[in-house]
Amino acid sequence: MTKEKEKTNIVKRILGNPVSVPYIALILVFVISTIASPNIFPTYSNIMNILRQASIVGVVSIGMTVVLLVGGIDLSVTSIMALTACLLADMMEKGVAAGKTGIMIGPVILVLLLGCFIGLVNGIVIVTRRLEAFIVTMAMNMIVKGIVMVYTKGAPGGKVSEFWENFGSGFVFGIPCAVILYALMLAIFVIILHKTIYGRHIYAIGSNAEAARLTGIKVKMNKIMAYVLCGFTAALGGVMLMARVRVGEPNGSTGYDMDALAAAVIGGTAMSGGVGTLAGTFAGVIIMAMVNNILNLIGADPNLQSLIKGVIILAAVVFQKQEK
């Protein structure tokens, strides 16, 4: 009797948890896809393929979730990705010419810091001038994109060292390297958000910035830090993108901003801040990657992808609103 009660309690708790909604959707998409393509979709190699495709958006969506949690948004991620990819590929070309094959940690750290720096500028402008994050980061996106275009003249360029070529296509213990990096980032940021004072303050600020200020939380500092982290994950996404396409492609990152945003929203992150989890965002990332994958597998018109994605996002927000 009590055990049964416990069971229903557990079911209730699972259903009551806001994170379960995107995961139920995830399972649903998985089941439907398996029925639609029973021979290819549920295979190990295809699943790994989905995860690898998801990993770049996944990394970008981590920082995006943090920024959304403080009640902001970052629309400059695509150009940060393009900048880091092109700059790093360019620096690597010289290295490769000099016979280097390794990780080239110096240039990599440099571009990651560059991403942080752009995030820092975003954050400082938004917080100190009390401006709309939407406008500021959109302007920053155009500025950085312009710099990339002038720098590359719009054409792909540069080379990728052997280490990163292997990273882009290689496996460790049967798992793609990019997926491992994504998992690592996810683990680090889950700890930051849920186990540190900084994480708690992020949620508090997003939930009620004025109350947070009057509670003695350093709202401005923490907000700026959120944009720095988003700049960092975008830059890391750029590095991963470069490794995957093996060249610095100035237009290669198009659409990652909206995909990252959509993943967060599907995962239950509120645009108004304070509500959302990385676990939810992860589900959002995987749902979108699965949908892309299955549409390819069944040979659907590629133009249909946008339509289906849009419907999923719309359904997600409508459904989440009703939940409350």
Partner 1 sequence: MSEYALEMLGVTKTFSKVTALDNVDLHVKKGEIHALIGENGAGKSTLMKVLSGVYKPDAGTVKINGEVVTVKNPRDAIDKGVSIIYQELSLVPELNAIKNVMLGQEKNKCSIISTKEENEFAGKYLDYASRGTLPSYKIPVKRLSVAQQQMVDIAKSLSYNSKIIVMDEPTDSLTTGEIDRLFEIVRKLKEDGITVIYISHRLEELFALCDRVTVLRDGKYITDANIADIDKDWLISKMIGRDLKDTFPPRHRMESDETVLEVENLTAERFQDVSFKLKKGEILGFGGLVGAGRTEVLRAIFGADRYKSGTIKVFGQEVRITQPNQAVKYGFGFATEDRKTQGLFLNQDIQDNIAAAALNKVSKGGFVDSSKEKVMVQKYFDELQVVAPDINKICKFLSGGNQQKVVLAKWLASECKILFLDEPTRGIDVGAKYEIYLLMDKLVQSGVSIILISSEMPELMGVADRVMVMHEGSLTGELNVDEFSEENIMKLASGEKLE
Where on the chain is the footprint of partner 1 (CB under 8 A)?
195-198, 200-201, 203-204, 207-208, 210-218, 274-275
Minimum gap (Å) between residue 190 Cβ and partner 1? 13
3-state secondary structure of 175: strand
Residue 86 main-chain phi, psi, to 5 deg: -70, -45
3-state secondary structure of 276: coil
**Do 307 and 320 form a contact (C-beta atoms < 8 A)?**
no
Cα torsion through 157, 100, 84, 176, rounded to 10: 100
DSSP state of 252: T
Minimum gap (Å) between residue 274 Cβ and partner 1? 5
Minimum gap (Å) between residue 70 Cβ and partner 1? 13
Minimum gap (Å) between residue 79 Cβ and partner 1? 31
Comparison of 140 and 265: residue with beta carbon closer to partner 1: 265
Comparison of 13 and 94: residue with beta carbon closer to partner 1: 13
Comparison of 216 and 299: residue with beta carbon closer to partner 1: 216
Comparison of 81 and 219: residue with beta carbon closer to partner 1: 219
**Nearest alpha carbon to residue 279 among 18, 16, 86, 12:** 18
**Do 269 and 281 form a contact (C-beta atoms < 8 A)?**
yes
Minimum gap (Å) between residue 11 Cβ and partner 1? 18
Distance from the first to the final alpha carbon of the chain: 31
Comparison of 174 and 216: residue with beta carbon closer to partner 1: 216
**Nearest alpha carbon to residue 65 among 76, 53, 73:** 73
Comparison of 184 and 214: residue with beta carbon closer to partner 1: 214
Minimum gap (Å) between residue 14 Cβ and partner 1? 15
DSSP state of 324: -
**Nearest alpha carbon to residue 258 among 276, 284, 219:** 284
Comparison of 12 and 195: residue with beta carbon closer to partner 1: 195
Residues 6+ apart with CB under 8 A from 63: 74, 77, 119, 229, 230, 231, 232, 233, 234
Minimum gap (Å) between residue 291 Cβ and partner 1? 29
**Nearest alpha carbon to residue 67 among 201, 218, 228, 182:** 228
**Do 104 and 95 form a contact (C-beta atoms < 8 A)?**
yes
**Do 182 and 58 form a contact (C-beta atoms < 8 A)?**
yes
Minimum gap (Å) between residue 209 Cβ and partner 1? 10
Distance in angstroms (rounded) separating the CA atoms of residues 273 and 209 = 10
Comparison of 94 and 218: residue with beta carbon closer to partner 1: 218
